[in-house]
């Protein structure tokens, strides 16, 4: 096995803070991926045969080891992604530990066979059964590589599936480290596997006979994944890009909103799918807000994440700096004011000063395209109504944020925002609530991870129906058909389901 991996072509992994090469990992070809999936398929039935409670209990062993080794893992995640260790701990390791804890507490109840009360067929009993799908393929991005991949993998495992993870080629090391932790728990090694490589390895995984794909990544790749899954008729959950708006209402606490904008825009160097990507404020707060956001941003400390005393580390993926530069240049050329930052720092590491743009308009690409980097554009709007309208105008719909002093009103308006999740007076954290569904609408994807919906999505939903008593040798709808039967059915239809039919009137109580 090892010899084969060594014989494969290798891909380098770089430390974004220094530009130094830190490791090489195999680029796995289609045959290697197929073999991994075959091993996972063999391991799955024995795992699925365990009661769910027992599966979850065993998964907590993995959680316990992750927590025990948190310092080592945080250091590795930080080195590979460039993010501060505190973010590695709180954005990646903590939510993974929490997902397992939630699955262990709630999973058995959520996946318990469920009775469905039939309204007509009272002599029959219906059960909804949640059965594992088989082998689930998880294809992950580089921005929160540990959390995204393991959140989906552990949920799939709890549901009784085997899992093959394809981490991003930019950040495979933390998943390989997670695999070492898995092996150390004594669980069947083939149940959770990691295949390394770039796009073609991911494509090979979809083609390797798996039963479901959980993909997180770019919109353009998502389209290719959906097409490949459509071709093979396997379900996929797509977690794609975001362009989260943050609306500062007239009655908002401006200081809290400004701090939220700075954290929401620059945490993980802006490389968060739910990060604050555009800000709308009316004249009531605009000048104070813009000045405060710029001031707070100037106070951020940027540097190599080897020190825990930095707020912003290195940009994980060099291409994001090119995108930031392009969008800032376009905005400035169209009249935006660059209040601070917006400068690429001299190498070898990948650093870009966090940029705040004021006086933005929707003519500017920065208000419409996903930035996924350390740039916060702010726009002055005529009214709150215009802010909500512009917020909903994007082709993306992952997250949205509203800051308001009137919580009740904000909650009502939040429900009108076109996004998979909306927070009032807070940002980002919803993405790590293990008990709540997470996912997008419009081009941000479909399907949900986390919560009851995410767990059930890892299952085939099977309806089992049985007669309580079987007295009759036949049923009225069975053969033979006749003109008499047809006329009876025709007469019964309005009596049962017409405007004044019995079921139309009393169906709700049955
Ligand atoms: P990407 O689409 O380039 O890559 C994601 C993964 O897909 C990688 O593992 C990659 O190797 C693989 N891949 C690429 N081509 C493939 C193919 N043809 N078949 C199968 N797999 C293939 O995305 P990225 O640059 O790694 O991540 C950044 C994007 O991810 C951003 O747009 C961001 O908004 C999005 N994202 C979304 C969420 C979410 O939950 N909605 C979370 C994190 C990141």
Chain segment 213-237, per-residue pLDDT in tens? 999 999 999 999 999 999 999 999 9
Whether residues 137 and 286 share a domain: the answer is no
Does a structural domain hold residue 442?
Answer: no
Average pLDDT score over residue span 3-24 = 87
For 307-348, how does the pLDDT look when each residue is reduced to its tens digit (9 = 90+)?
Answer: 999 999 999 999 999 999 999 999 999 999 999 999 999 978
pLDDT over 90 (residue 119): no
d(CA 57, CA 61): 7
Average pLDDT score over residue span 135-148 = 98
Does a structural domain hold residue 467?
Answer: no
Token pair belonging to 326: 């392009």
Q: Which DSSP state fits 481?
A: P
Whether residues 232 and 255 share a domain: the answer is no
| Average predicted confidence (pLDDT) for the chain | 96
Whether residues 98 and 153 share a domain: the answer is yes
Whether residues 62 and 185 share a domain: the answer is yes
Does a structural domain hold residue 21?
Answer: no
C-beta of residue 479 within 8 angstroms of C-beta of residue 485 = no
Asked if omega into 480 is within 30° of 0 (cis), the reply is yes
Whether residues 198 and 293 share a domain: the answer is no
Does a structural domain hold residue 120?
Answer: yes
Distance between Cα 421 and ligand 1 center (Å): 20
Q: Which helix (H) or strand (E) holds 500?
A: none
Q: Is 239 known to be catalytic?
A: yes
Whether residues 272 and 344 share a domain: the answer is yes
C-beta of residue 420 within 8 angstroms of C-beta of residue 443 = no
For 344-364, how does the pLDDT look when each residue is reduced to its tens digit (9 = 90+)?
Answer: 999 789 999 999 999 999 999
Check residue 1 and give its pLDDT: 42
pLDDT over 80 (residue 470): no
For 144-173, how does the pLDDT look when each residue is reduced to its tens digit (9 = 90+)?
Answer: 999 999 999 999 999 999 999 999 999 999
Minimum CA distance residue for ligand 1 atom 9: 168
Token pair belonging to 464: 């089992």
Distance between Cα 494 and ligand 1 center (Å): 53
Q: Which helix (H) or strand (E) holds 128?
A: strand 124-132
Whether residues 209 and 256 share a domain: the answer is no
Please count the structural domains in the chain: 3
Find tokens 């596997």 and name the residue: 193
> Following DSSP, what letter does each residue of 336-364 receive, concatenated?
-EEEE---BPPSSS--B--EEEES--TTS
Cα–Cα distances in angstroms (integers) from residue 471 to residues 122, 395, 466, 468, in the given order: 14, 58, 13, 10
For 282-317, how does the pLDDT look when each residue is reduced to its tens digit (9 = 90+)?
Answer: 999 999 999 999 999 999 999 999 999 999 999 999
pLDDT over 60 (residue 4): no
Whether residues 307 and 169 share a domain: the answer is no
pLDDT over 90 (residue 212): yes
Asked if omega into 348 is within 30° of 0 (cis), the reply is yes
For 427: left if phi > 0, alpha if psi spans -120 to 50, otherwise beta; the answer is beta
pLDDT over 60 (residue 6): no
What share of the chain has pLDDT > 90, as a percent?
93
* Residue of 138, 221, 276 to test ligand 1 pocket, by largest number of atoms within 8 Å of CB: 221
Whether residues 218 and 297 share a domain: the answer is no
Structural domain of 491 = 478-509
Write phi, then psi, for 214 (nearest 5 degrees).
-110, 110
Does a structural domain hold residue 343?
Answer: yes
pTM of the predicted model as reported, rounded to 2 decimal places: 0.96
Check residue 5 and give its pLDDT: 53
Whether residues 110 and 197 share a domain: the answer is yes
Distance between Cα 374 and ligand 1 center (Å): 19
Whether residues 309 and 209 share a domain: the answer is no
Check residue 417 and give its pLDDT: 97
| CATH, residue 414 | 3.40.309.10
Whether residues 363 and 494 share a domain: the answer is no
Beta carbon of 242 within 6 Å of any ligand 1 atom: yes
Strands 212-216 and 135-139: parallel
Check residue 364 and give its pLDDT: 98
Beta carbons within 10 angstroms of residue 72's beta carbon? 11
Average pLDDT score over residue span 188-197 = 98
Average pLDDT score over residue span 60-68 = 98
* Residue of 25, 172, 217 to test ligand 1 pocket, by largest number of atoms within 8 Å of CB: 217
Does a structural domain hold residue 440?
Answer: no
Q: Which of 140, 113, 139, 137 is nearest to 127 (CA)?
A: 113
Average pLDDT score over residue span 391-396 = 98
| CATH, residue 117 | 3.40.605.10
Does a structural domain hold residue 71?
Answer: yes
C-beta of residue 251 within 8 angstroms of C-beta of residue 401 = no
Q: Which DSSP state fits 442?
A: E
For 235-261, how does the pLDDT look when each residue is reduced to its tens digit (9 = 90+)?
Answer: 999 999 999 999 999 999 999 999 999
Average pLDDT score over residue span 476-486 = 95
Strands 459-467 and 445-446: unpaired
Q: Of the given ranges (46-50, 121-125, 262-266, 427-431), which has the lowest mean pLDDT? A: 121-125
Q: Is 273 known to be catalytic?
A: yes
Residues in the chain: 510
What share of the chain has pLDDT > 70, as a percent?
99
Does a structural domain hold residue 6?
Answer: no
């Amino acid at each position: 096995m090892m010899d084969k991996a060594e014989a494969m072509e290798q891909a380098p992994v770089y430390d974004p803070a220094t530009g130094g090469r830190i490791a090489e990992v195999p680029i796995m070809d289609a045959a290697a991926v197929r073999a991994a999936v075959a091993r996972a398929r063999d391991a799955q039935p024995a795992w699925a045969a365990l009661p769910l409670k027992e599966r979850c209990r065993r998964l907590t062993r993995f959680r316990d080891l992750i927590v025990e080794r948190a310092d080592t893992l945080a250091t590795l995640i930080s080195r590979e992604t460039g993010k501060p260790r505190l973010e590695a701990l709180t954005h990646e390791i903590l939510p993974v530990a929490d997902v397992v804890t939630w699955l262990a507490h709630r999973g058995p109840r959520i996946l318990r066979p469920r009775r469905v009360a039939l309204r007509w067929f009272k002599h029959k009993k219906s059960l909804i059964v949640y059965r594992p799908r088989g082998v689930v393929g998880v294809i992950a991005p580089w921005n929160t590589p540990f959390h995204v991949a393991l959140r989906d993998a552990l949920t799939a495992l709890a549901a009784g599936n085997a899992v093959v993870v394809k981490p991003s080629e930019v950040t495979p090391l933390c998943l390989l480290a997670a695999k070492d932790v898995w092996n150390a728990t004594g669980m069947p090694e083939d149940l959770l596997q990691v295949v390394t490589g770039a796009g073609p390895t991911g494509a090979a995984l979809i083609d390797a006979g798996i039963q479901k794909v959980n993909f997180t990544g770019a919109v353009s790749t998502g389209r290719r994944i959906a097409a490949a899954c459509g071709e093979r008729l396997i379900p996929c959950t797509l977690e794609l890009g975001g362009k989260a708006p943050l609306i500062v209402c007239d009655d908002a606490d401006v200081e809290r909103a400004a701090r939220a904008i700075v954290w929401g825009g620059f945490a993980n160097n802006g490389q968060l799918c739910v990060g604050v990507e555009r800000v709308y404020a009316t004249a009531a707060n605009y000048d104070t807000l813009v000045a405060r956001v710029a001031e707070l941003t100037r106070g951020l400390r940027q540097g190599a994440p080897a020190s825990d005393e930095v707020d912003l580390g290195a940009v994980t993926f060099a291409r994001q700096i090119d995108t930031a530069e392009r969008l800032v240049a376009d905005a400035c050329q169209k009249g935006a004011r660059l209040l601070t930052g917006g400068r690429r720092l001299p190498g070898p590491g990948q650093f870009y000063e966090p940029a705040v743009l004021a006086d933005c308009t929707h003519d500017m690409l920065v208000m419409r395209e996903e930035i996924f980097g350390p740039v916060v554009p702010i726009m002055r709007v005529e009214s709150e109504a215009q802010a909500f309208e512009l917020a909903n105008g994007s082709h993306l719909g992952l997250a949205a944020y509203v800051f308001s002093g009137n919580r009740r009103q904000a909650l009502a308006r939040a429900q009108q925002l076109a996004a998979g999740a909306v927070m009032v007076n807070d940002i980002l954290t919803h993405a790590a609530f293990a008990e709540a569904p997470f996912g997008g609408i419009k081009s941000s994807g479909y399907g949900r991870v986390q919560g009851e919906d995410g767990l059930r999505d890892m299952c085939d939903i099977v309806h089992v129906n049985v007669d309580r008593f079987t007295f009759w040798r036949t049923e009225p709808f069975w053969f033979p058909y006749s003109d008499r039967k047809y006329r009876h059915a025709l007469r019964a239809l309005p009596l049962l389901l017409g405007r004044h039919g019995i079921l139309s009137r009393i169906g709700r109580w049955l």
